Structure 1
Amino acid sequence: MAIPELPCWRPGPETVTLLSPGELHLDIVLVGSTTDQPEFAIIHEVQNSCRAPDLERIALSWPAYVTHVRQRLGCPVVLLAFCPDESTARRVAVPVETGHPDFVFRPRTYWPGMLPAITTVAEADRWPELALLSAPGHLDDAERRNVLAMALEAMQHLEPDLRVHYHDYISKCVPARYRKEWEELVAMAIENYHWESDFAHEHQAIGRAEGIAEGREEARAALAGSVLRILERRGLAIGEAARARVTDCSNLDELAHWLDLALVVDSAEQLFNLNTRPQHET
């Protein structure tokens, strides 16, 4: 062993206590077992950055995650990290030298491109999250259009809040040269009422159990709030006039239509310019 030549050596602690933080906060731990005894554990982390401070934190914390979970469960443990792209994944996967001979911690990483491309409705319906997470890794493939279409198909199986989240996720990942193609697919989904049926009918159903009059007002408020929230989540500025027009609208059909358009418009004002639906009360 190579021992560093240091000017001072002194006794250290014989009892090691976690100091700061007092608890280790892991993203997800999955424990597999055949009986009550754990047989294998997977620590799953999400790492979006590979800056120097992040790599320093990883070098100190991730080996501790593995050793502490192993001590607690008494079974083999592996740490798996999801990264947004291959470059980040490779930086994060750099081996960590702990100082002990042959004790080198090597994070296992993956990125969307390592996941299989989901290109069929059957696959998207069975594994919606996989279709959404893998899509950004296959946007330069020949199957790009099918991958994006299946991402939209997968969104139909998610709750409204998650739909908005994943729409933002995919939209930010689509390169500028394919942005028009993505918007056309979203527009086609809207034309086929995929979004409207999920959003509008869900919110309209809120009030039916409590009475038509009260329920209609709740549905109206929910739809108006969802329109504004989607615009805000997409980073679009909402002027006072546009906000008032959405908030004061009492037409459920029109609000449902605006909710669809909020996913693709470039500005809040364009929301109304693209509206060609006949005006009628429901």
Structure 2
Amino acid sequence: MVSPPHEAMHRIFQHDPGLFSRVSRFLGVDIPAPVKATALPTDLTEANPVERRVDTLLRLETAGQGPYLLAVQAQGKKHPDKPASWAYYTAYLWTKYRLPTALLVVCQDHATAKWAQQPVSCGPPQLPTLTVQPLVAGPHNMPVITDPEEARADLVLASLAAITHAAEPGVDAILKALSTALRDAPEDIAKPLVEFTAQGLAKRPAKNLWRNLVAVDLSFYKSYLAEEVRAEVRSEVQAEVRAEVRNEASAESRAEDILLILEQRGLDIPEDVRSRVTHCTDPELLRRWLARAVTVPKAEEVFEDA
């Protein structure tokens, strides 16, 4: 089953195809910014056999080097079959479109990123034939953007930084910088980035921080994420109110019981005693007074151990 982080790690490149050229400088290569980008069908199924789909496929055109294809794969963990699939994708795309094909793998942990970077050849050692070595973006090389001004300069890259560092200790600072930077962004720009970031964090602890930041820092923002947080806050407040009402009702009932016992025993109840009992809201204190009300010779003595 496709997970939210999987979708966020590759769909963010569909949202901003130019992101690849900006990410490439962190990967040790220099990819020119595209002047045009076209999303292509991701279905690589042949006429009869097994269905094969790449996560995201873009045709990018540059001013000086001509067009090329970018296949983006989101990889959540090591999988021994993936290098063969990646080899198939790149060979098939090269054959179908007759264009140079780049493969980018996006990861969220160091072990998977290190594994994905290793070159894999399909031939015997002395005849490698076809070698696959994708570019890999992950927590080992994506920037840790903790300055709101730096985040504001490239909001999409800041969102990808948060996604790829989702399990890292520094993600909290990245999220705070991103939420601060998004305050000034138009809603049509902020909205998809808020959702990509939320999907990329999935069920990790940082997801709760992001939800709270969205609800507080982006209070103008309307989305399922923000509304979810606000609904939880409303629910918590309502629960506290209900609990307070129950406590007040319990205290009022116990105060009435104390006065009733004293009255039934024929004891005189001065006004100051009656007032002190009825205005008390401490359930434990009222419980002790109730126990003493059964035996004290004078109403004033219910307070003696208070």
TM-score relative to the length of structure 2: 0.48
Q: CA RMSD in A?
A: 3.9
**Structure 2 SS opposite 1:198:** coil
Give the deviation of 1:70 after TM superposition.
Answer: 1.6
Matched-pair contact (CA < 8 Å) for 1:80–1:109: yes
In 2, Cα distance between equivalents of 1:123 and 1:147: 10
Instruction: Give structure 1 regions of 4+ aligned residues with deviation exceeding 6 angstroms.
Output: none
The residue number in structure 2 matching 1:43 is 71
- Superposition pairs of residues 207-222 of structure 1, within 5 angstroms: none
Matched-pair contact (CA < 8 Å) for 1:38–1:75: no
Q: 1:196 aligns with which of 198, 202, 219?
A: 219
Q: 1:32 aligns with which of 52, 60, 79?
A: 60
- What do residues 178-204 of structure 1 show as CA deviations (whole Å, max 9, x unaligned)? x9xx74x8657645xx433122xxxxx
Q: 2:133 aligns with which of 106, 110, 129?
A: 106
Q: Residue 42 and residue 161 in structure 1: after superposition, are their counterparts in 2 closer, same or farther (change >3 A)?
A: closer
Aligned length, in residue pairs: 187
What are the ranges of 5 or more consecutive residues in structure 2 without an aligned counterpart?
Answer: 1-45, 242-306
The residue number in structure 1 matching 2:194 is 163
The residue number in structure 2 matching 1:152 is 179
Matched-pair contact (CA < 8 Å) for 1:117–1:134: yes
Matched-pair contact (CA < 8 Å) for 2:119–2:132: yes
Q: Residue 146 and residue 172 in structure 1: after superposition, are their counterparts in 2 closer, same or farther (change >3 A)?
A: same
Letter in 2 for 1:68: Y
The residue number in structure 2 matching 1:261 is 230
User: Higher relative contact order by CA 8 Å / sep ≥ 6: 1 or 2?
Assistant: 2
- Superposition pairs of residues 1-282 of structure 1, within 5 angstroms: 19-21=48-50, 24-34=52-62, 38-50=66-78, 54-56=79-81, 58-99=82-123, 101-103=127-129, 104-135=131-162, 137=165, 139-141=168-170, 146-153=173-180, 157=185, 158=189, 160=191, 163-164=194-195, 166-167=197-198, 169-170=200-201, 172-174=203-205, 183=209, 190-191=215-216, 194-199=217-222, 230=225, 260-262=229-231, 269-270=235-236, 272-273=238-239
Q: Residue 260 and residue 172 in structure 1: after superposition, are their counterparts in 2 closer, same or farther (change >3 A)?
A: closer
In 1, Cα distance between equivalents of 2:93 and 2:140: 29
What are the ranges of 5 or more consecutive residues in structure 1 without an aligned counterpart?
Answer: 1-16, 200-225, 231-255, 276-282
State which structure, 1 or 2, has the greater radius of gyration over its C-alpha atoms: 2
**Structure 2 SS opposite 1:49:** coil
TM-score relative to the length of structure 1: 0.51
Letter in 2 for 1:109: V
In 1, Cα distance between equivalents of 2:212 and 2:154: 23
In 2, Cα distance between equivalents of 1:109 and 1:261: 37
Letter in 2 for 1:62: W
